[in-house]
């Protein structure tokens, strides 16, 4: 090898070393492309795990879950979580069109989150007043976080005549700067419930 070849190898090695040492400082000035921004909504069981969700519920007993929202949008965001309650015949949000359920909301959480932050709150609910008649049940009132709501939701026995099926579900809405208001962002989670009679 000639002397110029060694000199070129030395210069290239030196430049690579300088770039490696300076890379943390360069990250302050260069914004590399990141993944797709998104928001997430989730529910956890009473022990803050993805298990032991309430399913068989009875009248006058309190049940707790944890509701969570995570901001991965790349910027601060303003959220509203809308809590709704349905029987097996009422519509959920439409996944294909991205539209919310037309069911009236019962309860809401509104909050802002910095990018990378997570909101988690306990949600306690109970069925306060219900009745059974043959193969039908009727939930008259429901309490969510100490607020009482008249729901009057009727269910017919399903799944081989063993389940009175209801759902508590949570829609995620975000502030839309273009419209100047909040809009449903297409994400929801649900908690399936079976109303049981105490013996």
| Residue ranges per structural domain of the chain | 1-32, 38-195
**pLDDT at residue number 6:** 59
The model's pLDDT over 106-146, given as tens digits with 9 standing for 90+, comes to 999 999 999 999 999 999 999 999 999 989 999 999 999 99
CB proximity list for 170: less than 8 A, separation 6 or greater: 41, 43, 67, 81, 82, 83, 84, 188, 189, 190
Domain 38-195 carries which CATH code?
A: 2.60.40.10
**pLDDT at residue number 177:** 80
- DSSP H or E stretch at residue 8: helix 3-26
**pLDDT at residue number 25:** 52
Three-state SS at 122: strand
For the chain, what percentages of helix, strand and coil (3-state, to nearest 5) are there? Answer: 10, 50, 35
- Which ranges of the chain have pLDDT less than 70? 1-34, 198-199
């Amino acid at each position: 090898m000639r002397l110029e070849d060694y000199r070129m190898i030395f210069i290239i090695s030196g430049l690579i070393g300088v770039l490696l040492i300076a890379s943390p400082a360069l990250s302050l000035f260069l914004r590399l492309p990141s993944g797709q921004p998104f928001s997430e909504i989730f529910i956890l069981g009473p022990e803050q795990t993805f298990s032991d969700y309430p399913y068989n519920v009875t009248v006058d007993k309190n049940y707790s879950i944890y509701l969570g929202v995570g901001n991965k949008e790349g910027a601060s965001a303003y959220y509203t979580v809308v809590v709704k309650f349905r029987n097996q015949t009422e519509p959920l949000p439409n996944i294909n069109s991205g539209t919310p359920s037309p069911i009236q909301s019962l309860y809401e959480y509104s909050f802002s989150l910095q990018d990378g932050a997570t909101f988690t709150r306990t949600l306690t609910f109970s069925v306060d007043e219900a009745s059974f008649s043959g193969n039908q049940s009727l939930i008259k009132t429901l309490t969510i976080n100490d607020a009482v709501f008249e729901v009057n939701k009727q269910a017919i026995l399903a799944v081989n005549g063993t389940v009175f099926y209801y759902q508590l579900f949570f829609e995620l809405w975000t502030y839309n700067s273009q419209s100047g208001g909040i809009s449903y962002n297409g994400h929801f989670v649900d908690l399936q419930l079976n109303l049981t009679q105490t013996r």
